[in-house]
A and B are shown apart, each in its own frame.
Chain A
C-alpha cells in the first residue's frame, strides 16, 4: 500500500514514547492508564510499609472482592458518562433488583436461582429503561431524573424489605446467590480460567497486529506485542498464585471467588460493545458531538436509550454481587455507593463531560477506591480520614479530567 501523501507512518501505537509525546498525550486527554496505575502502585507501597498484612494473599483477595461492587457500578455508570449523562440512582436500583431476587429465593416463594437471578437483572433493566425514556422523551436532565430515582427507589426498597417483617434485613438463603462472592473456583479451575483469559487476550492482540500488518497499515513493532503478551502471562500467573494461596486460618480457603469471573465477563462484554460495534461507536459519537452524530444519520435517541438499558443490566449484576457479599439486603443500603461508583469511573480516566472513557477504567478506579478503603482500615485510620482521602483522590481525578478536556481542543 502506498503512503504517498498520508505522511510518515510513525508507529502511532506508542513504540517510541518520548516523555514529551507522553506529556502531550496527557494534556490531550489520551492519558492512557499509566498515571493512575502509578498512583495505585504508590498507594500499595504506602500501605504495605505501614502494615505488612496488606499484600498478604488473604487481604488481596478480600480487596478484589471489595472492589467488585465498585467496579460493576462504575461500569454501569460509564455507559452514561460516555454520553455526558449520569445516573445517581444506580446504587439503590441495583439493591432493589437484588431485593427482588433475595425475596423470591427465600422460603415463602422458593423460586429457583436461574429464574430469580435473571429477574433481578430484568427489574434493574426495566428501571434503567424507564428513567432513560423519561429523560429522553421529556428532555429532562439525567441528573434531576435520577436524583428523583435516588430518593424514590430507596423508598420502594425500604417498603419491600420492611414488608418481609424480618427486622429490616432479608438474609440470602439460597446457595447459588450466596456462593457468588463467598465460594471459590478450585485452584485448578482458577489456573484454567485465568490462563484462558490471558490466552484469549493475547490471541486478540496478535491477530489485530497481524491483520493490520498484512493490510499494510501502521502497526506497533513486534517486540511491543511480545512484551505485552509476556506481561499478560506474568500478571495472570501472579494473580493465580495470589488466589490459590491458602488464606484460611482453620480451614483451607483457596481459589478465585466467583465474583471475579463475573467482573471479567462484564468487562469483556462492555469493552466489546464499546470498541467493536456500531452501538459503541455511536455512544462515543453522541457523547462527543450529538449534533454531528444526528447529521451523520445516527438515531441519537435510540442509542441514548440503549445506554440506559446497558446501565440497567450492569446495575442488576452489581446488585446480585452486593447482596451476596453482605449475605442479604437491608433497608439501610449505603447511599455513598453511587458516588463511589462515579468516583471509580472518573479516577480510572473516564470523563464526566462525555465522549471519553473505557470499561477498563471502572476496574482500575474500583481497585483504587477499594485499596484506599482496605488499606486505611488496615492501618486503623478513622472513617473521617477515609472520607477525606477518597475526596482528595476524586478531586485530583476530576481536575485531571477537566485539564485534559481543555487540552484536547486546541483548535478553536
Chain B
C-alpha cells in the first residue's frame, strides 16, 4: 500500500487499513491525526481522536448530530486549533492556526453553504481571492481558460458557459463549482460537509461521481454525510464518531448499513470491527 498523492491508479479499497487505536504514524497516510482533543471550557468536543486519511481515497466521516464531526473537520481546516494532540501532513508534524495555513498545505474545505457569490460568474467565483493579474489588471483570459480546463478535467459538463452567473446554476452545479474551486488550487485533501444534503436524485449522482473522480486523481477526500446510502456508494473508508470519540474506522467492506447504524447510535461494536480487520 503505497498510495501517493500523485497516484492516479485504480482504487484499492482493501489497502490502507488502519484502525482507531493504531499508534505511530502510518507513512502511507496523507493526513494523520494522533490524540486530537478539543475542549470548549469544560466540554470535550473531541476526545483523543486518531485518524488516518490516505491519498486517492474517499473517507466518509459519519456519526449522529453532536458526535463531533464538524469540530473535527474544523480542526483539520485550521479553524480551531486542537487543545492537544498532533497533526501529521505527509509524515511531517504540522500546526495550523488559520484556514490559510491549512489552505497553504493543500487542504481545501467545501462547506455546506458552498460560499459562492451568486452575483459573480463561474470564473470569478473559481478565482475569488486568488485572481490572476497582469500588472494592475485582472487576466480574465487566463482565468477563463484555466476554469474551462479544470471543469473539463473533472467532467463537469452541464454548465452552459463559464461566464454564466453562479446564481443561475442548479444545486448540483453549484456544488460542482465549489468542489472544482477547491481542487483548482492544487489541493491534496478536499473536505466536504454534507455535499449531497440539498440535492435531488440525479444531482446527487453527479456529485458522487465527481467525488469518485477526485479520488481517482489521487486526491484525498473526507466527506461528512448523514446519508448512509451515499456513504456506501462513494466511500472507500468509513470513520464513525460517537460523542466526541472516533469509535471505529476501516475499509468500507468491513461495514454494512446495519452495523454502521448500530455504531452511530450506540458507539458500540468497536472491538468487533477491530477484530474483523485482517
Contact = CB atoms under 8 A, between A and B. Distances in A.
Interface of A: 1-10, 12, 28-30, 211-212, 215-218, 276-278, 281, 284-285, 287-289, 291-293, 295-298, 355-356, 408-412
Interface stretch (B86-94, B163-171, B263-271): B163-171
The listed residue with most A CB atoms (<10 A of its CB), out of B128, B145, B169, B170, is B128
Contact of B118 (A277, A289, A297): A289
23 contacts: A1-B145, A1-B148, A5-B152, A5-B157, A6-B152, A6-B159, A12-B161, A12-B163, A217-B145, A276-B137, A281-B131, A285-B117, A288-B117, A289-B119, A291-B113, A292-B128, A293-B117, A296-B128, A297-B130, A298-B128, A355-B118, A356-B119, A408-B118
Interface residues of B, number: 45
A28 B167 contact: yes
A297 B168 CA distance: 24
Contacts of B152: 2-6
A408 B168 contact: yes
The listed residue with most A CB atoms (<10 A of its CB), out of B118, B131, B159, B164, is B118
Nearest to B116: A292
Given A277-B137, A355-B119, A6 B167 contact: no
A211 B169 CA distance: 27
Contacts of A277: 133, 136-138
B144 interface: yes
B151 A5 contact: yes
Contacts of B114: 292
B100 interface: yes
Contacts, number: 125
Given A3-B148, A276-B137, A297-B100, A12 B131 contact: no
B156 A281 contact: no
A8 B160 contact: yes
Given A1-B148, A6-B148, A411-B170, A215 B141 contact: yes
Q: Chain A binding site: helix, strand, loop or mixed by DSSP?
A: loop
B99 A295 contact: yes
Interface pairs A-B: 7 shortest CB-CB: A296-B129, A288-B119, A288-B117, A355-B119, A292-B115, A5-B152, A297-B129
B138 A281 contact: yes
Nearest to B148: A6
B261 interface: no
A281 B159 contact: no
Interface in B179-223: 198
A278 B138 contact: yes
Contacts of A411: 167-171, 174
Contacts of B169: 411
A259 to B, nearest CB: 28
A366 to B, nearest CB: 23
Given A1-B148, A278-B138, A296-B128, A409 B167 contact: yes
A271 to B, nearest CB: 12
A216 B113 CA distance: 34
B155 interface: yes
Contacts of B120: 281, 284-285, 288
